[in-house]
Structure 1
Amino acid sequence: MAYDYLEAIKCQSVSASKAVVTQCRRALQNTCALNGAPNADLIIQIDDLEKRRIINPTLKDMAHTIRMIGNWGAHPQKDTLKEVTYSDASEVLEFTGEFLDEVFVRPARIKNLKTKKGIK
């Protein structure tokens, strides 16, 4: 998961927008798997995280947005060409960072502080 996100950052530095959103989508799917989501389509995995309160409804919406734009980067569209701009990629990258922060970083920081202060 971290590797995919770090690769997305590298891709953004060379304006590889479709690669950015595709790697962000991969980071999202790996995050779902690491959090015990079923081995299913990403849409189901995201919904599962929200049902189990690992993410809130706003993060669920953010995740589905990342998923959909990531799909544009990864899959040719039959009915219409979806352009992924540098600006789109920047927003997806920012959203992905925020998503990862909420799922991994903040809970770890809270746990660390509680442990440090002897709070259960």
Structure 2
Amino acid sequence: MVLDQCPHCGVRHVQTERCATLALSAHDNATLWHIVRCQNRACQRLVLVQVSNANEVQQVYPFVAYQLDSNAEVPLEIRDDFREAGVCYGAGCYKASLVMSRRALQRCLSDQGCTQNKLVEAIDHALQNNILRRAFHPLAEEIRQYGNLGAHPDDDQLQNASRESAYHVLEFLRLLIHEFYEVPAAAAHLRTKRQVPKLP
């Protein structure tokens, strides 16, 4: 079984070895529990995975901690929103995770000077003013659309607020935060190193 991320070592898309499988109820195999071992040689710790009888992952224990790079200069509010989106995802609260991801995106755009009240307008402004690269526009749009699914109870697509969609939206958000904050910081660091005068 491949896990999105090991909750202990943080390695992503990690292989695991199944150690045991138990049914939640002796009379019902609708929910199974797998005890698996992370195959990262530096970790090798046990993880409890709840799956459906179709072998779809429903929960992972302990919860995975979704954190941004601690060295990146990302505003605290955006860090907190991203972390909370991850906590909601780990707890199986996928609609809440989608809403928090949307909130974090809106904070990112506002921090870049896109202060429109409606997120769709902020995204358009960012695109038109080269704040958001065209290649990243679909990611921002999916975060917005799925965040709307989580926020509006009358939406007829609420079934799409799933574990899979919440995971992808979190990853899209991570990429956008990387684009807005981590890439410019890395470029500035390299520029500073290049401009340091060499000693004779």
TM over 0.5: yes
Q: Is residue 178 of structure 2 the alignment partner of residue 101 of structure 1?
A: yes
- Report SS of the residue matched to 2:158: coil
Aligned to 1:65: 142
Aligned to 1:91: 168
Shift of 1:114: 0.6
Aligned to 1:112: 189
One-letter identity of the residue aligned with 2:120: I
Q: CA RMSD in A?
A: 1.4
Aligned to 1:55: 132
How far, CA to CA, are the matches of 1:38 and 1:27 in structure 2?
A: 14
How far, CA to CA, are the matches of 2:121 and 2:171 in structure 1?
A: 23
> Does the C-alpha gap of structure 1 residues 23 and 111 become closer, same or farther in structure 2, counting only changes over 3 Å?
same
Shift of 1:81: 4.3
> Aligned pair count?
118
Gapped regions of structure 1 (runs ≥ 5): none
One-letter identity of the residue aligned with 2:86: I
Aligned to 1:16: 93
> Does the C-alpha gap of structure 1 residues 16 and 43 become closer, same or farther in structure 2, counting only changes over 3 Å?
same
More strand by share: 2
Q: Is residue 121 of structure 2 the alignment partner of residue 44 of structure 1?
A: yes
Instruction: Find the structure with the greater CA-based Rg.
Output: 2
How far, CA to CA, are the matches of 2:138 and 2:91 in structure 1?
A: 28
Q: Is residue 54 of structure 2 the alignment partner of residue 7 of structure 1?
A: no
One-letter identity of the residue aligned with 2:121: I
One-letter identity of the residue aligned with 1:89: A
Aligned to 1:29: 106
Gapped regions of structure 2 (runs ≥ 5): 1-77
Shift of 1:39: 2.7
- Using CA pairs below 8 Å that are at least 6 residues apart, which structure has the higher relative contact order? 1
- Report SS of the residue matched to 1:107: helix
**Identity percentage over the alignment?**
31
More helix by share: 1
Shift of 1:11: 1.2
Q: Is residue 158 of structure 2 the alignment partner of residue 82 of structure 1?
A: yes
Shift of 1:40: 2.4
